[in-house]
Amino acid sequence: MAFELPALPYAQDALAPHISAETLEYHYGKHHKTYVDNLNKLVDGTDNASKSLEEIIMSSEAGLFNNSAQVWNHTFFWNCLTPNGGGAPTGELADRINSSFGSYEDFKAQITEAGLTQFGSGWAWLVEDGSGLSIMKTPNADLPMKHSAKALFTIDVWEHAYYIDYRNARAKFIEVVLDNLVNWDFVAANLAA
């Protein structure tokens, strides 16, 4: 059973003007799809063909890890976004963020700093690491499950995530995502899972 590119949870133009349809055409339709295609080529005819995506991620390195993790990361990232999202969360999630970071503004500052200081390609994350909520940054395809942490939210800070809409302005992209696109219902569901 080959891995499939999951459908986007919204229309390709639904995140505009913050993330354009053209960006999703490339980022989802080409980059994410290529990771799925490469993963299928790597597992075809091997024992890995019958494993789950998570099993492959946890047991692999190099090309197989990079492609399987990038399939997971991108599916997770699309679900972290929603039209008319962003801003401060409410309810228990707000309480957890306030107790872990001091305030929503402090959380926002820390995840922005993580995204900006991830040299080259990678990801900025909100995670649950057993002792509470914390911020993590990972290079390339690396992800929290490889570090015994549960991913709650992420921002893709590879250049392909923002170059069409924001050119080199990674800081602007991060700000726009946090202010307009965060799917807090998905983040809360991850925390409760």
35 belongs to the binding site for Mn ion (CB under 5 A): no
Contacting residues for 179 by C-beta, under 8 A, at least 6 apart: 86, 87
- For 167, the token pair is 């050119």
Give least dist CB 32 to Mn ion, A.
7
158, 162, 166, 173: residue in contact with Mn ion (rule CB under 5 A): 158
79, 89, 111, 156: residue in contact with Mn ion (rule CB under 5 A): 156
- Judge contact between 146 and 140, C-beta under 8 A: no
For Mn ion, the closer CB: 1 or 7:
7
165 belongs to the binding site for Mn ion (CB under 5 A): no
Tokens 């913050």 correspond to: 18
Give least dist CB 73 to Mn ion, A.
7
For Mn ion, the closer CB: 156 or 165:
156
For Mn ion, the closer CB: 128 or 156:
156
User: How crowded is the C-beta side of 101, counted as CA atoms within 13 Å?
Assistant: 22
Nearest-CB residue for Mn ion: 156
Using the contact rule CB under 5 A, the part of the chain among 41-49, 110-118, 133-141, 148-156 near Mn ion is: 148-156
- For 81, the token pair is 């976004």
Q: At what angle do helices 91-101 and 184-192 cross, to 10 degrees?
A: 80
- Judge contact between 143 and 72, C-beta under 8 A: yes
Footprint of Mn ion (CB under 5 A): 156, 158
